[in-house]
Amino acid sequence: MNGNSGPGLEVRLRFHRRSNLAGSFDLDVDLQADRGITILFGSSGAGKSTLLDCIAGLLQPQSAHIAVNSLVVHDSATRVFLPPQKRGLAYLFQSPALFPHLTVEENAGFGLQGQSPEERSHSVHDLLEAFRVAHLTGRKPGEISGGEAQRVALARALATSPRALLLDEPLKGLDAELKWAIVDDLRAWNRVRQLPILYVTHQRDEVDALGERVIAMDCGRIIAQGAPHAVLDAPRKKRLAYAAGFENHLTAVVQDLREPDGVMRVRLAGSQVELEVPLGYAAAGNRIHVAIRAGDILLAAQKPQGLSARNTLEGLVDSLEVRGSTVACRVNAGAMFLVHVTPGAARALDLSPGQRVWLVIKTHSCHLVEE
Protein backbone atom coordinates (compact mmCIF):
# COMPACT_ATOMS: atom_id res chain seq x y z
CA MET A 1 0.00 0.00 0.00
CA ASN A 2 1.28 3.43 -0.87
CA GLY A 3 2.17 5.16 2.38
CA ASN A 4 1.14 8.59 1.16
CA SER A 5 -2.34 7.97 -0.10
CA GLY A 6 -3.84 4.87 1.47
CA PRO A 7 -5.92 4.81 4.59
CA GLY A 8 -3.86 4.43 7.71
CA LEU A 9 -1.69 6.23 10.15
CA GLU A 10 1.63 7.47 8.97
CA VAL A 11 3.91 8.63 11.76
CA ARG A 12 7.45 9.93 11.69
CA LEU A 13 8.51 11.88 14.71
CA ARG A 14 11.28 12.91 17.02
CA PHE A 15 10.39 14.00 20.51
CA HIS A 16 12.76 15.11 23.21
CA ARG A 17 11.66 15.73 26.77
CA ARG A 18 13.93 17.98 28.76
CA SER A 19 15.54 16.16 31.60
CA ASN A 20 13.70 16.20 34.89
CA LEU A 21 14.22 14.07 37.96
CA ALA A 22 13.49 10.96 35.92
CA GLY A 23 16.12 11.90 33.35
CA SER A 24 15.65 13.00 29.77
CA PHE A 25 13.67 11.00 27.28
CA ASP A 26 13.97 10.65 23.52
CA LEU A 27 11.42 9.23 21.15
CA ASP A 28 12.43 8.55 17.57
CA VAL A 29 9.86 6.65 15.60
CA ASP A 30 8.86 5.92 12.03
CA LEU A 31 5.81 3.73 11.61
CA GLN A 32 2.85 2.98 9.42
CA ALA A 33 -0.39 1.49 10.71
CA ASP A 34 -2.79 0.25 8.06
CA ARG A 35 -6.46 -0.71 8.36
CA GLY A 36 -7.15 -3.07 11.22
CA ILE A 37 -5.32 -3.52 14.47
CA THR A 38 -1.64 -2.73 14.83
CA ILE A 39 -0.22 -3.61 18.22
CA LEU A 40 2.34 -1.34 19.81
CA PHE A 41 4.21 -3.61 22.16
CA GLY A 42 6.87 -2.85 24.73
CA SER A 43 7.60 -2.67 28.44
CA SER A 44 6.48 0.36 30.42
CA GLY A 45 8.68 3.35 29.84
CA ALA A 46 9.27 2.38 26.21
CA GLY A 47 7.52 5.57 25.08
CA LYS A 48 4.26 4.07 23.83
CA SER A 49 1.94 6.48 25.65
CA THR A 50 4.10 9.47 24.74
CA LEU A 51 3.90 8.39 21.11
CA LEU A 52 0.08 8.25 21.23
CA ASP A 53 -0.05 11.68 22.90
CA CYS A 54 2.06 13.06 20.04
CA ILE A 55 -0.19 11.48 17.42
CA ALA A 56 -3.29 12.86 19.14
CA GLY A 57 -1.76 16.34 19.36
CA LEU A 58 -1.73 16.48 23.15
CA LEU A 59 2.06 16.73 23.02
CA GLN A 60 3.98 18.59 20.37
CA PRO A 61 7.09 16.73 19.25
CA GLN A 62 10.07 18.78 18.08
CA SER A 63 9.83 17.42 14.57
CA ALA A 64 7.15 15.28 13.02
CA HIS A 65 5.22 14.23 9.99
CA ILE A 66 1.92 12.67 11.00
CA ALA A 67 -0.88 11.85 8.58
CA VAL A 68 -4.24 10.23 9.31
CA ASN A 69 -5.76 8.62 6.22
CA SER A 70 -3.59 10.93 4.09
CA LEU A 71 -4.72 14.09 5.93
CA VAL A 72 -1.59 15.72 7.31
CA VAL A 73 -2.24 16.66 10.93
CA HIS A 74 1.31 17.60 11.86
CA ASP A 75 4.19 18.45 9.61
CA SER A 76 7.04 20.49 11.01
CA ALA A 77 8.53 21.12 7.57
CA THR A 78 5.41 22.94 6.36
CA ARG A 79 4.46 24.19 9.83
CA VAL A 80 1.18 22.30 9.96
CA PHE A 81 -0.02 21.51 13.46
CA LEU A 82 -3.67 20.65 13.98
CA PRO A 83 -4.84 20.80 17.61
CA PRO A 84 -6.32 17.60 19.07
CA GLN A 85 -9.83 18.92 18.40
CA LYS A 86 -9.26 18.93 14.64
CA ARG A 87 -7.55 15.59 14.14
CA GLY A 88 -10.61 13.37 13.99
CA LEU A 89 -9.05 10.70 16.15
CA ALA A 90 -10.47 8.61 18.94
CA TYR A 91 -8.08 8.15 21.83
CA LEU A 92 -8.73 5.86 24.77
CA PHE A 93 -6.44 6.27 27.76
CA GLN A 94 -5.48 3.70 30.37
CA SER A 95 -8.18 5.18 32.58
CA PRO A 96 -11.68 5.57 31.12
CA ALA A 97 -11.55 9.33 31.90
CA LEU A 98 -15.34 9.61 31.92
CA PHE A 99 -16.64 13.01 32.98
CA PRO A 100 -17.81 12.31 36.54
CA HIS A 101 -20.53 14.98 36.58
CA LEU A 102 -22.25 13.74 33.42
CA THR A 103 -24.42 10.65 32.96
CA VAL A 104 -23.33 7.73 30.83
CA GLU A 105 -25.49 9.01 27.98
CA GLU A 106 -24.15 12.57 28.26
CA ASN A 107 -20.63 11.20 28.32
CA ALA A 108 -21.18 9.11 25.24
CA GLY A 109 -22.69 12.07 23.39
CA PHE A 110 -20.07 14.60 24.46
CA GLY A 111 -18.25 14.55 21.14
CA LEU A 112 -21.43 15.14 19.11
CA GLN A 113 -21.44 18.89 19.02
CA GLY A 114 -24.12 20.78 17.19
CA GLN A 115 -26.69 18.08 17.74
CA SER A 116 -29.78 18.48 19.86
CA PRO A 117 -30.04 16.32 22.98
CA GLU A 118 -32.58 14.07 21.21
CA GLU A 119 -30.29 13.57 18.22
CA ARG A 120 -27.36 12.85 20.48
CA SER A 121 -29.35 10.37 22.48
CA HIS A 122 -30.39 8.63 19.27
CA SER A 123 -26.85 8.61 17.87
CA VAL A 124 -25.24 7.14 20.94
CA HIS A 125 -27.92 4.60 21.67
CA ASP A 126 -26.77 2.13 19.03
CA LEU A 127 -23.18 2.43 20.18
CA LEU A 128 -24.07 1.93 23.81
CA GLU A 129 -26.06 -1.07 22.67
CA ALA A 130 -23.13 -2.42 20.64
CA PHE A 131 -20.92 -2.25 23.71
CA ARG A 132 -23.64 -3.64 25.99
CA VAL A 133 -24.04 -0.62 28.25
CA ALA A 134 -27.34 0.77 26.94
CA HIS A 135 -29.05 -0.07 30.22
CA LEU A 136 -26.77 2.33 32.11
CA THR A 137 -27.68 5.54 30.26
CA GLY A 138 -28.92 7.47 33.28
CA ARG A 139 -26.13 6.48 35.66
CA LYS A 140 -23.12 8.54 36.67
CA PRO A 141 -19.61 7.11 36.13
CA GLY A 142 -19.21 6.70 39.89
CA GLU A 143 -22.08 4.22 39.88
CA ILE A 144 -20.81 1.76 37.27
CA SER A 145 -18.02 -0.82 37.29
CA GLY A 146 -14.56 -0.44 35.77
CA GLY A 147 -15.37 -2.69 32.83
CA GLU A 148 -18.60 -0.82 32.14
CA ALA A 149 -16.76 2.50 32.37
CA GLN A 150 -14.22 1.34 29.80
CA ARG A 151 -17.05 0.27 27.46
CA VAL A 152 -18.72 3.67 27.83
CA ALA A 153 -15.38 5.37 27.13
CA LEU A 154 -15.04 3.26 24.00
CA ALA A 155 -18.57 4.19 22.88
CA ARG A 156 -17.89 7.87 23.61
CA ALA A 157 -14.71 7.81 21.52
CA LEU A 158 -16.33 5.98 18.60
CA ALA A 159 -19.46 8.15 18.58
CA THR A 160 -17.50 10.96 16.92
CA SER A 161 -16.97 8.79 13.81
CA PRO A 162 -13.19 8.96 14.13
CA ARG A 163 -10.85 8.29 11.23
CA ALA A 164 -8.50 6.24 13.38
CA LEU A 165 -8.32 4.82 16.89
CA LEU A 166 -5.58 5.12 19.47
CA LEU A 167 -5.99 2.70 22.37
CA ASP A 168 -3.58 2.90 25.29
CA GLU A 169 -3.84 -0.30 27.30
CA PRO A 170 -7.60 0.17 27.42
CA LEU A 171 -8.20 -3.18 29.10
CA LYS A 172 -5.66 -2.80 31.85
CA GLY A 173 -6.91 -4.09 35.17
CA LEU A 174 -9.94 -5.90 33.77
CA ASP A 175 -10.33 -9.61 34.34
CA ALA A 176 -9.69 -11.90 31.41
CA GLU A 177 -13.29 -12.81 30.56
CA LEU A 178 -14.41 -9.18 30.50
CA LYS A 179 -11.35 -8.26 28.50
CA TRP A 180 -12.02 -10.71 25.69
CA ALA A 181 -15.69 -9.77 25.60
CA ILE A 182 -14.74 -6.13 25.01
CA VAL A 183 -12.12 -7.10 22.45
CA ASP A 184 -14.70 -9.13 20.53
CA ASP A 185 -17.13 -6.20 20.55
CA LEU A 186 -14.40 -3.90 19.28
CA ARG A 187 -13.43 -6.27 16.49
CA ALA A 188 -17.07 -6.67 15.51
CA TRP A 189 -17.47 -2.91 15.41
CA ASN A 190 -14.40 -2.46 13.23
CA ARG A 191 -15.19 -5.31 10.85
CA VAL A 192 -17.31 -3.08 8.61
CA ARG A 193 -15.48 0.18 9.21
CA GLN A 194 -11.92 -1.05 8.77
CA LEU A 195 -10.36 1.86 10.63
CA PRO A 196 -6.68 1.86 11.45
CA ILE A 197 -6.32 1.03 15.15
CA LEU A 198 -3.11 1.54 17.08
CA TYR A 199 -3.34 -0.61 20.18
CA VAL A 200 -0.79 -0.23 22.96
CA THR A 201 -0.16 -3.09 25.33
CA HIS A 202 2.60 -4.87 27.14
CA GLN A 203 0.59 -8.01 27.67
CA ARG A 204 1.41 -10.99 25.58
CA ASP A 205 -2.08 -12.50 25.69
CA GLU A 206 -3.61 -9.35 24.18
CA VAL A 207 -1.08 -9.49 21.35
CA ASP A 208 -2.01 -13.08 20.59
CA ALA A 209 -5.73 -12.28 20.67
CA LEU A 210 -5.68 -9.09 18.61
CA GLY A 211 -2.55 -9.13 16.64
CA GLU A 212 -2.44 -8.76 12.94
CA ARG A 213 0.74 -6.76 13.07
CA VAL A 214 3.06 -5.93 15.93
CA ILE A 215 5.45 -3.05 16.36
CA ALA A 216 7.82 -3.61 19.29
CA MET A 217 9.23 -0.53 21.01
CA ASP A 218 11.97 -0.07 23.54
CA CYS A 219 13.55 3.09 24.97
CA GLY A 220 11.73 5.32 22.51
CA ARG A 221 12.64 3.33 19.43
CA ILE A 222 11.08 0.67 17.25
CA ILE A 223 13.13 -2.48 17.60
CA ALA A 224 11.09 -4.95 15.58
CA GLN A 225 7.89 -5.16 13.54
CA GLY A 226 5.91 -7.73 11.66
CA ALA A 227 3.51 -10.58 12.38
CA PRO A 228 3.12 -11.33 16.11
CA HIS A 229 4.79 -14.72 16.07
CA ALA A 230 7.68 -13.44 13.98
CA VAL A 231 8.32 -10.52 16.32
CA LEU A 232 7.62 -12.05 19.70
CA ASP A 233 8.49 -15.72 19.25
CA ALA A 234 11.93 -15.00 17.88
CA PRO A 235 12.89 -11.77 19.60
CA ARG A 236 16.12 -10.30 18.37
CA LYS A 237 16.55 -8.06 21.38
CA LYS A 238 17.10 -9.13 24.94
CA ARG A 239 14.73 -6.59 26.45
CA LEU A 240 11.99 -7.61 24.06
CA ALA A 241 12.58 -11.23 25.02
CA TYR A 242 12.00 -10.32 28.67
CA ALA A 243 8.80 -8.50 27.81
CA ALA A 244 7.57 -11.31 25.60
CA GLY A 245 7.85 -13.81 28.42
CA PHE A 246 11.15 -15.58 27.98
CA GLU A 247 12.02 -16.31 31.58
CA ASN A 248 15.36 -17.97 30.95
CA HIS A 249 18.23 -15.86 29.67
CA LEU A 250 21.55 -17.57 29.24
CA THR A 251 24.88 -16.37 27.99
CA ALA A 252 26.79 -18.97 26.01
CA VAL A 253 29.89 -19.46 23.90
CA VAL A 254 29.58 -21.05 20.48
CA GLN A 255 31.49 -24.36 20.30
CA ASP A 256 30.96 -25.55 16.76
CA LEU A 257 28.58 -24.98 13.86
CA ARG A 258 26.77 -27.85 12.16
CA GLU A 259 25.50 -26.03 9.13
CA PRO A 260 24.02 -29.01 7.26
CA ASP A 261 21.79 -29.67 10.29
CA GLY A 262 21.02 -25.98 10.81
CA VAL A 263 22.19 -26.11 14.39
CA MET A 264 25.17 -25.22 16.52
CA ARG A 265 26.46 -26.36 19.89
CA VAL A 266 27.00 -23.79 22.58
CA ARG A 267 28.41 -24.01 26.11
CA LEU A 268 26.71 -21.98 28.81
CA ALA A 269 29.05 -19.41 30.33
CA GLY A 270 30.58 -20.46 33.65
CA SER A 271 29.54 -24.12 33.31
CA GLN A 272 30.16 -27.31 31.39
CA VAL A 273 26.54 -27.47 30.19
CA GLU A 274 26.18 -27.73 26.45
CA LEU A 275 23.06 -27.00 24.42
CA GLU A 276 22.14 -27.53 20.82
CA VAL A 277 20.53 -24.35 19.45
CA PRO A 278 19.39 -23.18 16.00
CA LEU A 279 22.14 -21.97 13.73
CA GLY A 280 22.70 -18.25 14.13
CA TYR A 281 24.93 -15.69 12.55
CA ALA A 282 27.93 -16.54 14.73
CA ALA A 283 31.31 -18.21 14.62
CA ALA A 284 32.98 -20.61 17.03
CA GLY A 285 34.16 -18.74 20.10
CA ASN A 286 31.49 -15.99 19.84
CA ARG A 287 29.39 -15.10 22.87
CA ILE A 288 25.65 -15.29 22.26
CA HIS A 289 22.45 -14.97 24.29
CA VAL A 290 19.86 -17.71 24.42
CA ALA A 291 16.30 -17.18 25.61
CA ILE A 292 14.02 -20.07 26.59
CA ARG A 293 10.42 -19.89 27.83
CA ALA A 294 9.90 -21.54 31.19
CA GLY A 295 6.86 -23.28 29.72
CA ASP A 296 8.87 -24.76 26.82
CA ILE A 297 11.05 -26.90 29.08
CA LEU A 298 9.93 -30.45 29.92
CA LEU A 299 10.67 -31.95 33.30
CA ALA A 300 11.28 -35.68 33.85
CA ALA A 301 11.74 -37.56 37.11
CA GLN A 302 13.74 -40.31 35.37
CA LYS A 303 16.36 -40.09 32.70
CA PRO A 304 14.35 -39.91 29.49
CA GLN A 305 15.34 -41.99 26.49
CA GLY A 306 14.42 -42.14 22.84
CA LEU A 307 13.40 -38.50 22.52
CA SER A 308 13.52 -36.26 19.48
CA ALA A 309 14.52 -33.37 21.68
CA ARG A 310 18.24 -32.85 21.47
CA ASN A 311 18.93 -31.34 24.88
CA THR A 312 18.62 -33.40 28.04
CA LEU A 313 20.19 -31.91 31.15
CA GLU A 314 20.47 -33.51 34.57
CA GLY A 315 19.90 -31.28 37.60
CA LEU A 316 18.52 -30.82 41.09
CA VAL A 317 15.31 -29.02 42.04
CA ASP A 318 16.37 -25.83 43.80
CA SER A 319 13.00 -24.34 44.78
CA LEU A 320 9.28 -24.53 44.01
CA GLU A 321 6.81 -21.69 44.02
CA VAL A 322 3.10 -21.85 43.25
CA ARG A 323 1.97 -18.89 41.13
CA GLY A 324 -1.73 -19.21 40.44
CA SER A 325 -2.25 -22.10 38.07
CA THR A 326 1.45 -22.70 37.40
CA VAL A 327 4.24 -23.98 39.56
CA ALA A 328 7.53 -22.19 39.01
CA CYS A 329 10.33 -24.68 39.53
CA ARG A 330 13.95 -23.61 39.67
CA VAL A 331 16.35 -26.30 38.62
CA ASN A 332 20.11 -26.21 38.98
CA ALA A 333 21.57 -28.09 36.03
CA GLY A 334 24.97 -26.49 36.06
CA ALA A 335 23.15 -23.28 35.24
CA MET A 336 19.89 -22.18 36.84
CA PHE A 337 16.74 -22.83 34.78
CA LEU A 338 13.19 -21.72 35.49
CA VAL A 339 10.60 -24.30 34.46
CA HIS A 340 6.82 -23.88 34.55
CA VAL A 341 4.71 -26.96 35.19
CA THR A 342 1.07 -27.39 36.12
CA PRO A 343 0.17 -28.15 39.76
CA GLY A 344 -1.01 -31.58 38.60
CA ALA A 345 2.34 -32.35 36.98
CA ALA A 346 4.16 -31.19 40.08
CA ARG A 347 2.09 -33.60 42.17
CA ALA A 348 2.51 -36.48 39.72
CA LEU A 349 6.29 -36.07 39.76
CA ASP A 350 6.17 -35.44 43.50
CA LEU A 351 8.52 -32.51 43.03
CA SER A 352 10.42 -31.30 46.05
CA PRO A 353 13.61 -29.31 46.57
CA GLY A 354 16.78 -31.40 46.28
CA GLN A 355 15.12 -33.93 43.96
CA ARG A 356 17.04 -35.17 40.91
CA VAL A 357 15.30 -34.26 37.61
CA TRP A 358 16.04 -34.08 33.89
CA LEU A 359 15.30 -31.07 31.74
CA VAL A 360 14.29 -31.66 28.13
CA ILE A 361 14.63 -28.72 25.75
CA LYS A 362 13.96 -28.80 22.01
CA THR A 363 16.52 -27.13 19.82
CA HIS A 364 13.98 -24.69 18.44
CA SER A 365 12.78 -23.71 21.89
CA CYS A 366 16.16 -22.01 22.24
CA HIS A 367 15.96 -18.51 20.78
CA LEU A 368 18.99 -16.44 19.96
CA VAL A 369 18.66 -12.82 21.05
CA GLU A 370 20.73 -9.70 20.68
CA GLU A 371 21.93 -7.75 23.68
Give residues in contact with another protein (CB under 8 A): 56-58, 83-87, 89-91, 93, 95, 97, 99-101, 110-111, 113, 140-142, 156-157, 160
Instruction: Give which of 7, 97, 13 is closest to 54, Cα–Cα.
Output: 13
Scored b (16 or more CB within 10 A) or e, 24-57 reads ebebbbebbbbbbbbbbbbbeebbbbbbbbbbbb
153: burial class by Cβ within 10 Å (0-12, 13-18, 19+)? buried
Q: In terms of CB distance, is 106 or 218 closer to another protein?
A: 106
Q: In terms of CB distance, is 157 or 361 closer to another protein?
A: 157
The minimum distance between CB 126 and another protein, in angstroms, equals 18
- Cβ atoms 160, 112 nearer than 8 A: yes
Beta 36-41 vs 196-201: how paired, if at all? parallel
Q: In terms of CB distance, is 58 or 322 closer to another protein?
A: 58
Q: In terms of CB distance, is 109 or 211 closer to another protein?
A: 109
The minimum distance between CB 137 and another protein, in angstroms, equals 17
- Cβ atoms 171, 150 nearer than 8 A: yes
The minimum distance between CB 98 and another protein, in angstroms, equals 8
- Cβ atoms 362, 316 nearer than 8 A: no
- Rounded to whole angstroms, the Cα distance separating 11 from 156 reads 25
The minimum distance between CB 149 and another protein, in angstroms, equals 12
The minimum distance between CB 132 and another protein, in angstroms, equals 21
Instruction: Give which of 29, 41, 46, 53 is closest to 209, Cα–Cα.
Output: 41
Helix (H) or strand (E) holding 49: helix 48-56
Q: In terms of CB distance, is 81 or 110 closer to another protein?
A: 110
Q: In terms of CB distance, is 3 or 117 closer to another protein?
A: 117
Q: In terms of CB distance, is 168 or 296 closer to another protein?
A: 168
DSSP, res 33? E
The minimum distance between CB 171 and another protein, in angstroms, equals 17
The minimum distance between CB 89 and another protein, in angstroms, equals 6
C-alpha count within 13 angstroms, C-beta hemisphere, residue 365: 22
The minimum distance between CB 64 and another protein, in angstroms, equals 17
The minimum distance between CB 203 and another protein, in angstroms, equals 21
Helix (H) or strand (E) holding 329: strand 326-332
Instruction: Give which of 28, 77, 18 is closest to 220, Cα–Cα.
Output: 28
The minimum distance between CB 110 and another protein, in angstroms, equals 5
Q: In terms of CB distance, is 101 or 347 closer to another protein?
A: 101
Identify residue 142 by its one-letter amino acid code. G
Q: In terms of CB distance, is 162 or 235 closer to another protein?
A: 162
Could you please report the per-residue DSSP string of 61-112?
A: -SEEEEEETTEEEEETTTTEE--GGGS-EEEE-SS----TTS-HHHHHTTT-
What residues are paired with 13 via a beta bridge?
Answer: 29, 64
Q: In terms of CB distance, is 87 or 179 closer to another protein?
A: 87
Instruction: Give which of 142, 156, 145, 154 is closest to 107, Cα–Cα.
Output: 156
